[in-house]
Amino acid sequence: MNAAVHISYGPPDVVQIAEVDKPTAGDNQLLVKVHATTVNRTDSGLRAAKPFINRFFTGLRRPRVTILGNEFAGAVEAVGRGVRSFQVGDRVFGYNGTRFGAHAEYLAVPEDGSLATMPANLTYEEAAPSTEGSHYALAMIRKAKLRSGQDVLVYGATGAIGSAAVQLLKHLGAEVTAVCDSEHVELVRGLGADRVIDYTAEDFTKDTQTYDVVLDAVGKSSFGRCKRLLKPRGIYLSSDLGPLSQNPILALITPLHRGKKVLFPIPRDNQEMARYFKGLMESGAFKPVIDRRYRLDQIVEAYRYVETGQKIGNVVINVEPST
Ligand SMILES: NC(=O)c1ccc[n+]([C@@H]2O[C@H](COP(=O)([O-])OP(=O)(O)OC[C@H]3O[C@@H](n4cnc5c(N)ncnc54)[C@H](OP(=O)(O)O)[C@@H]3O)[C@@H](O)[C@H]2O)c1
């Protein structure tokens, strides 16, 4: 089968389309014919080994995982022994967060992994970008125990995490103020934001409103800069480690007293998460934002675009034409 393979760390062009062995469905596994996948910031960070510390987990000199891609949508082509809940022909989507391998024509995934059958109303390319940025957003929202009616500011509302966060928050009934650039104000309103701050025209940290939660989905602010935006017991969440990796440390210290605090959840993925997104997509409450689409043989270009840091939502790779 064809796959996008990288055998060394480096810039996008270390990735090449190569012929590799087709995986098989082991016991309790499904073999999925991949129709669509994504290139996201995690793929980029692992391929480039940036930050360097990634290498302690992914291989010091060379990458242990040579086929990246953690989101997928496709059709079950074969099932291994013991598989009960999926069958050949099922259209499935999901997240293969630790094993990767979706930048390929076939992918083997465990039956009890983070996957679900696809909503009937979605194409493969619509379903593929529904589990990565969105599960980071969901982890933050759940950690903050957000309730209906709470005021939330989302900084970086046009990214994969931010565009999912705005939709998930609206579904929960939060009052959402979203921060993005002037070009995308209408897009973000369309995601459900009640109020939009154009960061090219004003500094959102000087906003006069206060919030129960500030969610930095682009990792470019800090607790110190956002503290004045928080209500007395408000929560600051960020998708990034923050300046000098302070966010995980602040998440240990700040909850020790009753004031404003930082939370830094470790995102978890499981089948409940995939089913949750399936339900939201079926009902129309969540629709992943797709920016650009590429074919598998254009994946180097897709990486270059993702690494501009300016993609809007998600970048999809069509491995097979979507149906
Ligand atoms: N916690 C984790 O495990 C984890 C996992 C994945 C990613 N991350 C981190 O989370 C961050 C977001 O990830 P992502 O995948 O959502 O990123 P992304 O999709 O690449 O986000 C890019 C978006 O952010 C917007 N943006 C850039 N600079 C901005 C600024 N100063 N103010 C407001 N918006 C800005 C861009 O729009 P404009 O430039 O057009 O405004 C673009 O739409 C990244 O820093 C990534 O490293 C963390």
Q: What is the pLDDT along the chain (323 residues), one digit of tens a residue?
A: 999 999 999 999 999 999 999 999 999 999 999 999 999 999 999 999 998 988 998 999 999 999 999 999 999 999 999 999 999 999 999 999 999 999 999 999 999 999 999 999 999 999 999 999 999 999 999 999 999 999 999 999 999 999 999 999 999 999 999 999 999 999 999 999 999 999 999 999 999 999 999 999 999 999 999 999 999 999 999 999 999 999 999 999 999 989 999 999 999 899 999 999 999 999 999 999 999 999 999 999 999 999 999 999 999 999 976 55
Torsion angle of the four alpha carbons 279, 281, 285, 287, in this order, in degrees rounded to the nearest 10: 160
By alpha-carbon position, which residue is closest to atom 15 of ligand 1?
160
Q: Closest Cα to residue 290, out of 122, 79, 142? A: 122
- State if residue 161 touches ligand 1 by the CB under 6 angstroms criterion: yes
- State if residue 197 touches ligand 1 by the CB under 6 angstroms criterion: no
CA of 35 to the centre of ligand 1 (A): 26
Angle at alpha carbon of residue 296, lines to 18 and 54, rounded to 5° = 75
- State if residue 159 touches ligand 1 by the CB under 6 angstroms criterion: yes
Q: To test the ligand 1 pocket, which listed residue (40, 41, 57) has its Cβ within 8 A of the most ligand atoms?
A: 41
Structure tokens at 113: 């992994």
Using an 8 Å Cβ cutoff, are 184 and 312 in contact?
A: yes
By alpha-carbon position, which residue is closest to atom 35 of ligand 1?
156
| Rounded Cα distance, 281 and 290, in Å | 14
- State if residue 133 touches ligand 1 by the CB under 6 angstroms criterion: yes
Full DSSP string of 56-82: HHH-SSS-S--B---EEEEEEEEE-TT
**Ligand 1: nearest atom to the Cα of 239:** 1
Full DSSP string of 256-319: GSSSSEEE-------HHHHHHHHHHHHHTS----EEEEEEGGGHHHHHHHHTTT---SEEEEES
